[in-house]
Structure 1
Amino acid sequence: MKNNSNHSLREEDQPKKESALSSLDSRFSQTLRNVQGLLKGRTIPGKVLLTRRSDPLDDSNLQEHSPSYHRSFSSNDAGTSDRVDKPEEVDNASKPNSTAGVNKLKSSTSNIEDTPKEVQRSTMGARATDSARLMKFSKFLSETTVILEKLRELAWSGIPPYMRPNVWRLLLGYAPPNSDRREGVLRRKRLEYLDCVSQYYDIPDTERSDDEINMLRQISVDCPRTVPDVTFFQQVQVQKSLERVLYTWAIRHPASGYVQGINDLVTPFLVVFLSEYLEGSVENWSISDLSQDKITNVEADCYWCLSKLLDGMQDHYTFAQPGIQRLVFKLKELVRRIDEPVSRHMEEQGLEFLQFAFRWFNCLLIREIPFHLVTRLWDTYLAEGDALPDFLVYIFTSFLLTWSEELQKLDFQELVMFLQHLPTQNWTDQELEMVLSRAYMWHSMFNSSPSHLAS
């Protein structure tokens, strides 16, 4: 009787298990359908149209297929946007437990790559130029107190270039949200930077320690090597500005000091803040056209924004760079979960992720993509705020798996050469938006399920 009773209970439980699995599969299917629709030109996170449509888009259709923006919050974030919704299918899809669900997730890479080429090429990317978004940016920036969460939501998908300097200062917490205080704070911080340069940089070597002399020498060697394919950075005065910012930052941050790679991180800030004074293409800029006061203001903004950025990633640049090593391990685990064939092939060939991904985390992909795309990528970086380090893992996974099929055909030596010289020289906004869209999708699915990233 006891066995019969147990057998009966198991039979009663079976429909419940099947129902749960069916429900989970359904949620996965819905999420993947949403994202596939997103990648075919409807929207990307942040509600930005990817295509310029000749026919008006039906609002009900947009609501049905567009997952609302959901930023990855950290414990330091506070407040929410009035339009940050969490669709049920995205929340639930972040907790996949069934084999069928995981298989569907693993197949998502091939589904994305199957998007018709003509559709991919027709996408305009998040260029942040449609009038509705411009009006939103203008409205948020004109408020007496900027609501940063609303600004983050909007900035995630791209910032209009002429608004980028002000938005970046706000997102990094360098400029205060209160407009009444902003001008005074910037003036004070710029004077503070000037005092630091006078105290630490504009002194003879006889007043420096041996370590400081060696550090300054290393910086002076690295500056001419920074973004070598952009002629603007070969100007002597530009390199001197980089040197002043880097040396002053390193002296003020002795826990890490100067680490090679930080020189790359200054360049997006330098270009963005110079764009307030110089017009046209970066290739045609001459920093000598600016007064020394303007150059000093740009350097000060670069210094403080670099400081704010690295405050959230301190252990990336301390001894042995443990923060980067930890994220490289997470990257390896995430690739294994999403694209097991690529992971297995790289392991069979004896390729360690540290051999190529360390530079990605160290320089935040600045050396891997065309420089004209860097500021767009950094719009998303800065919109992530304190959650950026963890989100980098998803961006870099998406970046790597762009070449999933190619990687599986290469031996060890070919893999090393390929990953050190990735074919991104002809990339446009479309390819970058595809990387970010996949990263958003996988973050929605995995970030609330850390057990999926456990070894």
Structure 2
Amino acid sequence: MSNRKDLFVQILSKERINRSEFEKACFQGIPDGSGLRSTCWKILLNYLPPSKSDWDEVLAKQRNAYNQFIRTMIVDPNQSQDTSDHPLSSSPNSTWSEYFKENEVLSQIDKDVRRLCPDLSFFQQPTKFPASFCSQSLRTRVEQANLQAMQVTQSKAGGSQLMKPKKKYSDDDCYQILPQGQEAHWEVCERILHIFALLNPGIAYVQGMNEILGPIYYTFVTDSDEADVKHAEADAFFCFTGLMSEIKDNFIKILDNSQCGITHNMDSLMNMLRENDPQLYAALTERNIKPQFFSFRWLTLLLSQEFLYPEIQRLWDSFFADSERFKFLLYFCCAMLIAQRTRLINGDFIDNMKVLQRYPIETDIYQLLQLACQIKDGKLILHTVPTKENPAPNSTSGRSGILGSFFSRAKNR
């Protein structure tokens, strides 16, 4: 680990970051446990400028701006001094009218962040730095909105009765509510996404954005010193916003069939597969395995639902460091298909969908990274593709397997 960490310390110690040298190092993997990944991602996502002398000023300005967003954009009409504005007002400029519109989007955000990475207890745990100056808890706001949505129905006896709306999520999806004054990490993510939706009305919030935010926020909270952790929410907001500016076309339905839309990216992936493995491509085509059945989620969410968080962090090191961002994502997805070629060629429609929609957990991502680089460099040789029955030399089974490549050295750092 020391050699890899020393390399990053050396690169980051310079007054001006050499972008090419820095991206090359990050592409090979940022050392786990070094406390450097959050800083590196901030640079790769263009939140921090190349000149280190500007970092303090940029961070202070952006963090203050985000705190101002919280104070001014999360509004509770109940605290308004304007007595002429009330919940039943028909004015389009009414604060209450805007409040109710926001609640529709906020309810979807709330539903999604409660489900964020349920296998990881992190998002259920309380943050050390709750936004105490926030005028209203968004969780409470959603709960109140659901209560107000209770419908008045006619009882059999002829009287009126209140009927609760159908639950939008099960109790298993809802995290434990913390005591007053505390807030869980999922609530912080809820606030980030809410503010993003308010500032970007053209796209607002689309289901799945929570899966993009999750690894960023998690990395900033768990990979930094406490001085940075205190501002993880603001930093995650701006890095998420920067990343969304690059991949937002995947979330805009009217752009699906454009040159920048998700359909074009899925077609590019299948064309790449056809060029590198015609037999596998033909097998999937014959079985009517369409790319939208599996690669839509892969590409839109940057594989954030296919692997465990430590693996996602490693993959995103390479995705963010890719000078042709996000071309390497396509190479990696192609590698995911080719790595399962034996099972996919021999399987029927149902078998193949099980493999592609729930990618095998025993897969070693470092083998996939090496395979993706072979595809990228035009050096793929199909008969040497490692499989479960025929693993690569010097590798062990499972996701802890190690290859004798620079990717494995990054893992062993």
Same fold (TM over 0.5): yes
- Please name the residue that 1:198 is paired with: 71
Opposite residue 24 of structure 2, the aligned amino acid is E
Could you tell me which residue of structure 2 aligns to residue 11 of structure 1? Answer: none
Query: Aligned partner of 1:417: which letter?
Result: K
Offset at 1:209? Answer: 5.3
Deviation at 1:434, TM superposition (A): 1.6
Which residue is equivalent to 1:243?
A: 190
Q: Where does residue 348 of structure 2 map in the other structure?
A: 411
- For the pair 1:252 / 2:186, whether they are aligned, the reply is no
SS of residue paired to 1:208: helix
Structure 2 length-normalised TM = 0.68
Which residue number in structure 2 is paired with residue 222 of structure 1? 112
- Residue 182 of structure 1: aligned partner: 55
Q: Which residue of 2 aligns with 1:308?
A: 242
2:303 corresponds to which of 362, 365, 382: 365
Show CA shifts across 1:71-96 (max 9, x none): xxxxxxxxxxxxxxxxxxxxxxxxxx
CA distance in 1, matches of 2:97, 2:355: 46
The corresponding residue for 2:357 is 420
Structure 2: runs of 5 or more not aligned: 78-94, 126-176, 178-183, 380-413
Runs (4+) of structure 1 moved beyond 3 Å? 202-205, 293-296
Distance 1:307 1:404, change over 3 A: same
1:321 to partner: Cα distance: 5.0
Please tell me whether the aligned partners of residues 327 and 390 of structure 1 are also in contact (alpha carbons under 8 angstroms): no
Per-residue CA deviation, residues 240-298 of structure 1 (Å, 9 max, x unaligned), is 111011111122222222111110111111121112458xxxxxxxxxxx8xx976611
How far does residue 138 in structure 1 lie from its aligned partner after superposition? 1.2
Distance, in Å, in 2 between the alignment partners of 1:372 and 1:164 is 12
Amino acid across the alignment from 1:233: F
Contact 1:255 1:318 in 2 (8 A): no
Partner of 1:146: 17
The verdict on how the C-alpha distance between 1:299 and 1:337 changes in structure 2, with shifts beyond 3 A counting, is: same
Q: Does 1:436 align with 2:377?
A: no
What residue number does 2:315 align with?
Answer: 377
- What secondary structure is seen at the aligned counterpart in 1 of 2:325? helix
Cα offset, 1:143, TM superposition: 0.9
Report deviation, 1:168. Answer: 1.1
SS in 1 for 2:211: helix
Map Cα deviations across residues 114-155 of structure 1 (whole Å, 9 max, x no partner): xxxxxxxxxxxxxxx252x33221111111111111110111
Partner of 2:219: 272
Alignment of 1:27-176 (within 5 A): 129-131=1-3, 133-161=4-32, 162-176=35-49
Q: Aligned partners of 1:154 and 1:432: how far apart in 2? A: 18
- Indicate which of 329, 340, 345 corresponds to 2:278: 340
User: Is the partner of 2:266 in helix, strand or coil?
Assistant: helix
Q: TM-score w.r.t. structure 1 length?
A: 0.62
Q: Distance in 2 between matches of 1:232 and 1:216?
A: 22
Please tell me whether the aligned partners of residues 356 and 419 of structure 1 are also in contact (alpha carbons under 8 angstroms).
Answer: yes
Separation (CA, whole Å) in 2 of partners of 1:139 and 1:296: 26
- Partners of 1:189 and 1:157 in 2: CA distance: 30
Alignment partner of 1:232 is 2:165: no
Give yes or no for contact 2:332–2:369 (8 Å, CA) kept in 1: yes
Contact 1:256/1:319 (CA < 8 Å) preserved in 2? no
In the alignment, which residue of structure 2 is the partner of 1:118? none
Give the equivalent residue in structure 2 for 1:89: none
* Cα separation, partners in 2 of 1:233 and 1:378, compared to 1, 3 Å: same
Paired with 1:185 and 1:362, the residues of 2 have a C-alpha distance of: 30
Counterpart-to-counterpart distance in 1, 2:255 and 2:337: 22
Does the CA contact (< 8 Å) of 2:113 and 2:190 recur in 1? yes
- In 2: Cα distance, 1:404 partner to 1:364 partner: 22
Unaligned runs of 5+ in 1: 1-128, 279-289, 447-455
| Alignment-mate amino acid for residue 327 of structure 2 | D
Q: Deviations over 1:6-60 (max 9, x none)?
A: xxxxxxxxxxxxxxxxxxxxxxxxxxxxxxxxxxxxxxxxxxxxxxxxxxxxxxx
Residue identity opposite 1:221 in structure 2? K
Q: Secondary structure at the match of 1:445?
A: coil
Q: 1:420: Cα distance to partner?
A: 1.4
Between the aligned partners of 1:319 and 1:379, the Cα distance in structure 2 is: 28
Decide whether the 8 Å contact of 1:147 with 1:177 is kept in 2. Answer: yes
